[in-house]
Structure 1
Amino acid sequence: MHIRILGSAAGGGFPQWNCNSPRCREARAGRLTGERRTQSSIAVSGNGRDWLLINASPDIRQQIIDNPVLHPSGEVRSSNIAAIALMDSQIDHVTGLLMLRESRDPLPIYCTSRTEEDLRTGFPILEILKHYCGSRVASLPVDGSSVQPAEVPGVRLTPVPLTSKAPPYSPHRESPEPGDNIGLLIENPDNGRRAFYAPGLGEIGEHLHRWLSEADVIMVDGTTWTDDEMARVVGGRKTAREMGHLPLDGPGGMIEYLSACPAARRILVHINNTNPILDPASAERARLQELDIEVSRDGMDIEL
């Protein structure tokens, strides 16, 4: 099974269009050009031909251009993206659906019933798509059972509910329930190898230990280095945890947890433009290298 990281940045990408933080300035000036990143998304395939897009970021057009495996290879109007899975209804993860509206056929979309409701009400992308290609929505379970999308042979998904709030525009914003935000256990049914993917992870509850311990590859939230990073660097008003992201450093942080999972390959995704690990020469990047924790990049390939 093949996994391609299409976008490794948090919302806004790196550099972010309106951010003048030190690292964004350096990226524009040329020193960190190799660290430029698009917004969070991956693609998965069991056969290298039919691909499942997991999250449709606002950068999907550029991501398709940058990844030839997603280029049209059949008829004049065609796509190697066979289906789409959404982990939540956040703008950063669903706006790309609008960029795919020229599809010849209705978009096959897998998501939870909570996400589908958000995308028909608070942010009605699915209703907008009715005027273009349309969509075919299949519900993802949140009871621990698995699904194998028919459009993508050789890929099995187990949705795992995460502790998080729905987006501000969601009718569920103040009444969170399982299904507002999920992680995905992605399994190769032929050999049993597994990856756990959770770009938004604010809390590692007891129920996650099983899924993380069974994974051969862990791809998890690397948004910020410290909890107060956004406030210090760009004057944000919320901490990382208040925004639904577990910081890397400090007691109870992501590094502490990943250090207890030495058997798995550990990869950080969803990296914010304020995070010092975007600088390969930083002490923070050196610390990750010592711990054998990888920093994802756009175009990274993972084989299972």
Structure 2
Amino acid sequence: MGRKPIDPFARAQIVALHNAGFKQVDISTHLGKSRCCVQNAIRKFKNHGHYNDMKRSGRPKKISGSDICYLKRLVRGDVRLSASKVTSELNISLSNPVSVVSVRRYIKDLGYEYVVKLKQQWLSAKHRQRRIAWCKQYSSWTCDDWRKVIFSDESTFYVLKRKNLCKIRRLDKEKLLPECLEQTNTGDGGKVGIWGGISGNGITVAKIYTENMNSNLYCDVLQHELKQSIQKIRKKNKIIFQQDFAPWHTSKIVKQRIRQMKLNVLDWASKSPDLNPIEMLWSILDKKLAAKPIYSRTALKERLEEEWNNIDQDLCIKLVESMPERIQKCLAAKGGHFL
């Protein structure tokens, strides 16, 4: 068992009393310290000139040098083994085997975290080429040009499940408190879909629905919500409409409805949700919905409509004006994902 460390202030007192002419026995009695402590404090000050503890070498590291480099190779790249597999591979090259706990500690010290992989849409070489071609085609557009575009999309929200991971700070003993639990249920408690759009003029009228989106429902959205939103804009002839390549967007009856409405549709690159600024809005809406508990589909519809109508116009403009930056990031990533 190691010796109990002495406070640097107490060492300073010992040295001061010693310099004042007090005997070591009297200093020990006066300060309540052992004779050995008094002697060591005086000797340390004479040899080193300070009262602080000396740096200790500590226990020798079990993994160092080339073994650390090998450990890095095992936890990065395409394989990225688990701690138990890393330990098995690492112990083959070590003279003294280490435990899984030690390997986890070393991996953590290297800055690696054990987290779930982020989901990302797969892109083929053709998809990347088309994304790059699209970005080059519209790289000369200014923020004023992008403000004329209505970016649209659909999203689905659930009663008992949020899109974003809900994280809180709590003690271990608080884990079963109501405010520290996220309610779940079979079927996620029901779902509600929403169609909406944003532009330099703010948000469009939203369509909130409980059935699955299809071509007929989307035609109804174009005829009512989109048309109503365009009518509120003064310079209607300069409005450009954006949509992705969802199956109901490219059906024959939808194409016919678009021709009837004489919509100027923006050419779009397939599999490019990260280029659409409205995608950021769905995450913002989800955070707002998570602020209050929702227990029914009716309540979810009401909250969705309320939060959509409360979206700030400046936020929409900021998201739309981020298009030039998004295009440059996509080009820098050579057509790959950049968010």
Q: Smaller-chain TM-score range?
A: under 0.3
TM-score by length of 2: 0.24
- Structure number with the higher helix fraction is 2
